[in-house]
Amino acid sequence: MSRELAFLKLDHGAPYFEVHSNAFRSVIDAMCSRGQVTRYTEAEFCVQSDGSITKSEQNHKVFKFKGIPGMYKVADALLSEADAQVHYGSLIKVISTTENNLWNLKDKREIDYGDFEILCVASCTVAHPRWSSTFGGTAPLIAAAEQMKIPNQNFQKALKNIAEIKAEPVTALLMAFTGELASAWLSLQWRMLDVSRFSDVISRIHIKDLTETSDSVSNVGVVIHSTVSFGRKVVGVFGKTSTAARLGGAKHDEDSEQQIISDMWTEMKILLKEYKSIDSIPMNSASYGPHLHRWGAAFPGPTLLKQELACIEDLHLIFVGDYIESQSIPASIECAFLSASHGARRIAEVFSSKT
């Protein structure tokens, strides 16, 4: 999301998610009844090797959903049910344990967020060596382990396992258009276009209608995802609007950023040259962007954190997310949910056994 434009709610990552298990489906059905989630039914097309654009075959046995008004709403809804206190715009840089065996969290400004009985780690970045190349210094959980007077064997095993997890990066180009330019995008017969068979730079283009019923003009968001191979080549460029740059202070190279934006825009125009209404749109005509966003941990794997190491019971430490081994589709939103559900049950069992 962006505060620059009231209507702007872009999904820089996955525009939808799939549901395969009954456990996840029951939660999503409840969200649907509350208007937080709905079925994703938008047309998906692909560019064939000869350059032609055809409708993709749909697997009607797989149910797809999206958050309303954006994908952030899925996590937002779960947090609201938990009555959680949320701190946005913060980057936790110091994680430590207290003499009372609690977890203490501080941000980059040394603001103390308090002591907690349970630490739930939803992103492996705070426990991964790649933290150093992005934010500098030692990853907070690695530093916490080093400072423990008595090393915890399972914690050490988990950190070693996490260090082996690779993440395939994707660079996203985000932009929005209004008025006639938005109408030009919305006139296309597709909302998701897979171009991975035809391009070494771009993997897909996603169009999102952002027009509200009360709007007098059309609004549209356009997100372009790079291929993984292109993402690897430019992995060191974060984008000035990225979380790494805004919150973590990661340095960004303006010249490199503009070159990548230009490369992806040019490739997009080549791929869509048959659409004259799009071909005539200049890059500087967007009402928002184009902005670069590095989706650094887009696809974790093939090594993932073993399920038995995802909960360090004696430390009250849980690892959850799409980087955990699961019986579901790996590195997926459902995988992340199921890992969180499993971790919550494990911790509940630990606490119940002590009372």
Given a contact cutoff of 8 angstroms between Cβ atoms, the answer to whether 313 and 346 are in contact is yes
Structure tokens at 288: 């928002």
pTM score, whole prediction = 0.86
Burial (CB count <10 Å: 0-12, 13-18, 19+), residue 150: exposed
Task: For tokens 């075959």, name the residue.
Answer: 57
Q: Where exactly are the structural domains of the chain?
A: 17-77+167-300, 90-147+308-354
Give the CA count within 13 Å in the CB-facing half-sphere of 338. Answer: 23
Which CATH class for the 17-77+167-300 domain?
alpha beta
> Please, what is the Cα angle at 326 between 90 and 352, to 5 degrees?
75
Closest by Cα among 351, 279, 285 to 314: 351
Cα 176 to Cα 66: distance, rounded to the nearest angstrom: 19
Which CATH class for the 90-147+308-354 domain?
alpha beta
Cα 110 to Cα 321: distance, rounded to the nearest angstrom: 26
pLDDT in tens, the chain (355 residues): 454 566 678 888 889 999 999 999 999 999 999 999 999 988 789 988 777 889 988 777 789 999 998 898 898 888 888 777 888 888 899 999 999 999 999 998 899 999 999 999 999 999 999 999 888 899 999 999 999 988 999 999 999 999 999 988 899 999 999 999 999 999 999 999 999 988 999 999 999 999 886 677 899 999 999 999 999 999 888 766 666 666 566 666 788 999 999 999 999 999 998 899 999 999 999 999 999 988 877 889 889 999 999 999 999 999 999 999 987 788 899 999 999 999 888 888 877 776 5
